[in-house]
Structure 1
Amino acid sequence: MTTTTAPPLLTARDLHVTFPGRRGADPARAVDGVELDIGAGEIVALVGESGCGKTTLARALLGLVRPTSGRVTFAGTPMEYSSRALRAYRKRVQLVLQDPSGSLNPRHTVYEAVAEGLRIHGYAGDERAAVTEALSRAGLRPPERFLLRHPHELSGGQRQRVVIAGALVLEPELLVADEPVASLDASVRGEILALLLRLRTELGLSALVVTHDLGLAWNIADRVAVMYLGRIVETGAVEQVLSAPRHPYTRALLSVLPDSPGEPEVLAGEPPDPSRIPPGCRFHARCPVLASGEAERAGVAGACRTEDPGVPGGGREAEVACHWARARAGA
């Protein structure tokens, strides 16, 4: 785990990504002022419902989407968007996608799939040795058994390990894993999560794990950032956030886990359109605390509807963007 004094490996500051609206509509604010740090050797889980902006944020951190405003910094250097700079950056920061079947060319052997990144980046060393080492690190042992196989000859877990090996072969410092176990059977998910933890221990890898599954976050992450409608609304150490969630949105997400005590808290309606983000707290139209009168009793109902609660910082301190949670903490 990263230390509290070491500078972060990656930072996002006041990051915005907007997309043009359809047929003259206002631009969609997919990422709307995100602050996020990822430390060396740290695993951060980015959680939230589908459509909250998680994947767009991950793509912006990878340099696949250029921010409308704000800044991404890696190892102390602001990201540049020239082809040459992005090529060098993507050797250090690798993406692991959720669907290994879609990530792998069915005509390519495992060897070709893993070697592809080396060839793109002009690797001058022993290609076969690098590929077999990456496969071995990804848990495909002995690697020689897999080199000439095609994706259809592998199980889902083995295909995901090939995808991970394809990222590892470039010796990156950070993995961005977008729903890395969503398409896998339950029996295999634990193996892939254990692999990611082992890679952090053995190689000092950092990881941003994008997921809608708070149970996965609990099992793998050091820190969690909860995202809603383009913005992080709660962040902190995973044990702190998931054991004692302060934001009503985080509480609702946790309440539907299978082993959660009490009744599931079903949120009303759908998240608002990112081109029409409501005033005040962006969650207020669906907030059970506001609907139940608790926010009124705490004296913050008006603020919930009209005042933006701000953006949590990206660091290791536990923070929440919620008028009601802050009122409770100050009571």
Structure 2
Amino acid sequence: MTITPLLSAAELNVTFPGRRGAAPARAVDGVDLDIGAGEIVALVGESGCGKTTLARALLGLVPPTSGAITFAGERLDYHARALKSYRKRVQLVLQDPSGSLNPRHTVYDAVAEGLRIHGRPADEREAVAEALSLAGLRPPERFFLRYPHELSGGQRQRVVIAGALVLKPELIVADEPVASLDASVRGEILALLLSLRDELGLSAMVVTHDLGLAWNIADRVAVMYLGRIVETGPVERVLTAPQHPYTQALLSVLPESEGDPVVLTGEPPDPSRIPEGCRFHARCQVLASGEAERAGVADQCRTKALPVLTGGDAAQVACHWATATATAPQAG
């Protein structure tokens, strides 16, 4: 089934000037990505791959160098008034509730802050209570006068989520929403996000380095490496039959994975010095093992750039080896 995008990025690029004469850093380098209404998309990759920059660009916090972002069929306008209106509809949930909540503000004030920034409604108290209830803090009045230090980590994260929900957004962008929480609480927060999708039709992009989290919450997965989406598709397709060696390596270190973990050597390359060919080739276990050579694509891996994956919900991969082995004739 083809999704109807709520938010779309087309040929999106975010480039930062180089320091002291260095080349510009291509943090987001030609990304097409769609998020459908009522859909949860997990954006997955190592630290430094560009996923947080992409998320900030989708939120309108970082203007793209080129490309376009479209929301509900309208191209995002970067004038202050248009951005203010857009941010009522698209809200950010940060990973560290302790850092994002003002310790001097009560829960009520923390949740009401967005309402006050965007124009206080007459029913502020009712709106705050409704948001807290949706976030699983019930009865909400019991939490109004509490301060962050009086709450558990899970409760603080629910307050942050309530602060996003109070504006009745259509999409939330959650940056590592459970990274700072105990394992026992993570499942509760993930279940909350799923219930918000089911009950409110809320869309979400969840930014994470954890493919296990993506398996538990996402409808689709987009795997990012060095500024590009290298594999994308329905969560069952990508996580049960990964095609890109990078996705395979990320999955191999999960506790439930079979076989030996793939240990990637080195760090992702500097985004100001993106290598020729496949940008993953210097760390690729398939190239190192000789499998790419046997498939006849080793030279392409080192020298031939791969196309940008298009948006939509179809399974796609940007990998010379995966393409060659998928189209190779079967023996026998």
- Both structures adopt the same fold (TM-score exceeding 0.5): yes
Q: Which amino acid aligns with 2:146?
A: R
Partner Cα separation in structure 1 for residue 308 and residue 326 of structure 2: 17
Find the aligned partners of 1:192 and 1:6 in 2 and give their Cα distance. 26
**Paired position in structure 2 for 1:171:** 168
Q: Would you say 1:97 and 2:76 are equivalent positions?
A: no
Residue 210 of structure 1 aligns with an amino acid whose one-letter code is V
Residue 148 (structure 2) aligns with:
151
For the residue of structure 2 that corresponds to 1:44, the secondary structure is strand
**Structure 1 segment 1-331 matched on structure 2, within 5 A:** 4-331=1-328
Q: Distance in 1 between matches of 2:4 and 2:74?
A: 12
- d(CA) in 1 for partners of 2:321, 2:174: 33
Query: One-letter code of the match for 2:148?
Result: P
Alpha carbons 2:30, 2:308 under 8 Å: kept: yes
Aligned AA (1:85): A
> Aligned AA for 2:289?
S
Q: Report the alpha carbon displacement of residue 124 of structure 1 after superposing the two structures with TM.
A: 2.3
State how far apart, in whole Å, the 2-side matches of 1:328 and 1:202 are.
42
The Cα of 1:191 is off from its aligned counterpart by: 0.1
Stretches of structure 2 lacking an aligned partner (at least 5 in a row):
none
**Matched positions, count:** 328
Per-residue displacement from partner, 1:206-228 (whole Å, max 9, x unpaired)? 00000000000000000000000
Q: Which amino acid aligns with 2:238?
A: V
Instruction: Give, in angstroms, the shift of residue 123 of structure 1.
Output: 3.1
Cα deviation 1:292-320 (Å, max 9, x = unaligned): 11101101011111111111111101000
Identical-pair percentage: 82
What is the alpha-carbon distance in structure 2 between the residues aligned to residue 45 and residue 223 of structure 1? 6
* Residue deviations 1:115-156 (CA, integer Å, cap 9, x gap): 000000003230000000000000000001100000000000
The residue identity in structure 2 corresponding to 1:313 is T
Q: Deviations over 1:229-278 (max 9, x none)?
A: 00000000001000000000000000000110000000111110000000
Residue-by-residue CA offset, 1:27-74 (whole Å, 9 max, x unaligned):
000000001000000000000000000000000000000000000000
Whether the 8 Å contact between 2:2 and 2:313 is mirrored in structure 1 is no
**What amino acid is the match of 1:49?**
E
| Runs of 4 or more above 4 Å deviation | none
Please give the secondary structure, in 1, of the residue aligned with 2:5: coil
Distance 2:166 2:280 in 1: 42
What is the alpha-carbon root mean square deviation over aligned residues? 0.6
Change beyond 3 A, Cα 1:77–1:279? same
- Please tell me the residue identity of whatever aligns with 1:167: A
* Separation in structure 2 between the aligned mates of residue 95 and residue 313 of structure 1, nearest angstrom: 25
Q: Relative to structure 2, which stretch is displaced further, 123-132 or 272-281?
A: 123-132
Aligned-partner residue type, residue 294 of structure 1: E
C-alpha distance in 2 between matches for 1:253 and 1:295: 19
Instruction: Answer whether contact 2:3 2:312 (CA < 8 A) is retained.
Output: no
SS of alignment partner, residue 20 of structure 2: helix
Matches of 2:251 and 2:12 in 1, distance apart? 27
Shift of 1:7: 2.2
Check 1:190–1:295 CA distance in 2 against 1; reply closer, same or farther (3 A cut). same
Q: What SS does structure 2 have at the residue aligned with 1:37?
A: strand
